């Protein structure tokens, strides 16, 4: 791609050729019109109420409650996915968060959502040059162009509520310029208001959840992604932690002004391309690097990378994994998280049903007064830990689909539907579910247990086998893990 110098206009007719893709839209600002977005989101609870009313009639005609509830779940989930997949920005981000539930739907039902989401990024209307320049001027001032040697008016990539442009900084560095859509902030505020109103639809999946608390946690996370100053600070922390790392490259922040964030440009192979055409060895390596990047944050800088979406990663020519988009980050781990993970892992891998039931109650995943079938809970949850029972394991979408189908089954006897999720756990759930979904798509095989223990050595106690091999040593040598953790902690403490 050729970057045009500042002030050079695009060739005649070029903008017109691009705009014909969106001929039905009368302006060049992406879809943030409140009335249209509000109407689409407001239709969700209306349709849900209609399905519930229809379900009463179906039960009166002899259909079982389980069959009717399953039908309501499938139709509501499909409607949610279709609407969120059509909208840009906040609604699209929420659609990505819900993407894991697509695995619980029959393929023919999930297809409209999958198509809508796959087209979402590329189909978003691009801002025309005069709108881009006006948006940058709003944040950087009318003389913004003096900071650049060259600036490409054409969009290089789409972001959730903005777009990215290639440019050359005044010192000669290639940079990525992330610009928020005009009106994007207001659009997100409206979307979040609608989300709060329709959040009770989440009971379709988990009727026992504390919907209000989790909704507020999601809203805070999404709204936080609009704070480019906070994103710049997160990115600086990650860049410092992974400076000169042999596995990862985090681009340095060059500048940040209002709703414009400028970072060093990354050239590399997008992970979605690896998903589509990579060899299995490449897919295994990329998947395990993504696991390492997310889990190492606990020890290296105390931040959770909550959006391990494939589009946020590039494989550099030297083999390192380049990482972008640090809007969705939060301090990590929160108080009590280490105890939570250790208790649950010990119950799953070395304990029994009673231990797991006690751990879920102790850490707020089930109300103390609620009766719980501990045997059913253990049977439902323990298969999810299968990848950690082996030296290496291949994750697949088929395996993941089985886990989601089992845990989201709408039967009244499904004990998982009685569980809730503490609000503080929401960022981790988002990051973990997104990561596992990508690993399933990549069909990544690797030593998941050892990689997790490398960065969270406290968990080694849960995985140590009681069996002693011939040499008389435990199956896991814990000392190297503890030593790596201590060294990583010292590096993390030196970050400013």
CB contact set of 357 (below 8 Å; sequence gap of 6+) = 366, 372, 374, 377, 378
The verdict on 346 and 457 lying in the same domain is yes
**372 and 472 co-located in one domain:** yes
Residues 217 and 346 both lie in one domain: no
Same domain, 309 and 448: yes
Asked if 379 and 295 sit in the same domain, the reply is: yes
* pLDDT (average), residues 32-41: 50
Does one domain contain both 212 and 273?
no
Residue 159 lies in a domain: no
CB atoms under 10 Å from CB of 29, counted, come to: 16
Q: pLDDT grade, residue 126 (50/70/90)?
A: confident
**418 confidence band (pLDDT: 50, 70, 90):** confident
233 in a domain, yes or no?
no
Asked whether residue 241 is assigned to any structural domain, the reply reads no
pLDDT of residue 68: 61
More confident residue, 266 or 183: 266
Q: What confidence category does residue 184 fall into, taking pLDDT thresholds of 50, 70 and 90? A: confident
Distance of CA 60 to the CA centre of its chain: 42
> How much is the pLDDT for 98?
53
Intra-chain end-to-end CA distance of the chain, in Å: 37
Q: Is residue 258 part of a domain?
A: no
Tens of pLDDT along 250-272? 999 999 999 999 999 999 999 99
Same domain membership, residue 272 and residue 218 = no
In this predicted structure, what is the pLDDT of residue 99?
A: 54
Residues 372 and 430 in one domain: yes
Q: Is residue 110 part of a domain?
A: yes
173 falls within a domain:
no
- Whether 6 is in a domain gets the answer no
Clarify whether residues 113 and 189 are in a common domain.
Answer: yes
| Count of domains for the chain | 2
| Domain enclosing residue 482, as ranges | 267-496
> Does one domain contain both 209 and 273?
no
Task: Quote the CA–CA distance of 59 and 218 in Å, as a whole number.
Answer: 35
Give me Rg for the CA atoms of the chain. Answer: 24
CA dihedral 183, 212, 209, 368 (to 10 degrees): 150
3-class DSSP state of 379: helix
Residues 212 and 305 in one domain: no
170 domain residue, yes or no: no
Residues 415 and 334 in one domain: yes
């Amino acid at each position: 791609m050729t970057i045009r110098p500042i002030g050079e206009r695009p060739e005649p007719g070029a903008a017109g050729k691009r705009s014909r893709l969106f001929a039905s839209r009368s302006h060049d600002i992406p879809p943030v019109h409140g009335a249209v977005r509000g109407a689409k989101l407001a239709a969700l609870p209306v349709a849900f109420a209609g399905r519930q009313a229809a379900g009463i009639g179906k039960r009166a005609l002899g259909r079982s409650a389980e069959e009717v509830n399953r039908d309501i779940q499938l139709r509501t989930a499909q409607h949610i996915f279709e609407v969120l997949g059509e909208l840009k920005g906040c609604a699209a981000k929420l659609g990505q968060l819900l993407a894991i539930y697509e695995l619980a739907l029959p393929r023919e039902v999930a297809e409209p959502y999958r198509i809508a989401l796959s087209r979402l990024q590329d189909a978003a209307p691009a801002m025309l040059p005069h709108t881009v320049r006006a948006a940058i001027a709003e944040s950087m001032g009318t003389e913004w162009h003096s900071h650049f040697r060259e600036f490409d008016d054409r969009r290089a990539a789409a972001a959730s509520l903005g777009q990215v442009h290639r440019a050359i900084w005044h010192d000669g560095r290639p940079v990525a310029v992330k610009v928020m859509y005009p009106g994007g902030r207001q659009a997100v505020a409206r979307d979040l208001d609608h989300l709060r109103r329709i959040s009770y639809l989440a009971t379709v999946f988990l009727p026992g959840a504390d919907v209000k608390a989790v909704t507020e946690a999601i809203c805070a996370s999404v709204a936080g992604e609009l704070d480019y100053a906070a994103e710049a600070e997160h990115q600086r922390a990650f860049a410092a932690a992974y400076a000169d790392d042999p596995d990862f490259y985090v681009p340095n922040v060059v500048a940040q002004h209002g709703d414009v964030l400028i970072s060093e440009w990354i050239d590399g192979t997008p992970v979605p391309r690896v998903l589509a055409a990579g060899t299995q060895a490449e897919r295994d390596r990329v998947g395990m690097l993504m696991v390492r990047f997310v889990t190492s944050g606990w020890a290296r800088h105390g931040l959770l990378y909550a959006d391990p979406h494939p589009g946020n990663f590039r494989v550099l020519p030297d083999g390192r994994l380049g990482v972008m988009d640090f809007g969705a980050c939060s301090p990590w781990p929160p108080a009590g998280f280490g105890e939570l993970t250790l208790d649950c892992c010990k119950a799953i891998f070395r304990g029994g049903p009673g231990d797991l039931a006690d751990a879920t109650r102790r850490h707020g995943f089930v109300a103390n007064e609620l009766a719980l079938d501990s045997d059913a809970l253990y049977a439902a949850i323990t298969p999810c830990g299968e990848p950690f029972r082996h030296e290496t394991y291949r994750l697949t979408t088929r395996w993941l689909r089985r886990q989601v189908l089992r845990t989201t089954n709408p039967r009244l006897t499904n004990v998982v539907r009685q569980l809730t999720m503490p609000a503080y756990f929401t960022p981790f759930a988002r990051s973990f579910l997104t990561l596992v979904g990508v690993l399933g798509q990549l069909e990544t095989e690797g030593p998941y247990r050892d990689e997790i223990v490398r960065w969270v050595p406290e968990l080694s106690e849960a995985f140590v086998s009681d069996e002693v091999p011939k040499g008389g040593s435990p199956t896991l040598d814990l000392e190297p893990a503890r030593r790596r953790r201590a060294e990583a902690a010292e590096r993390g403490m030196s970050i400013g």
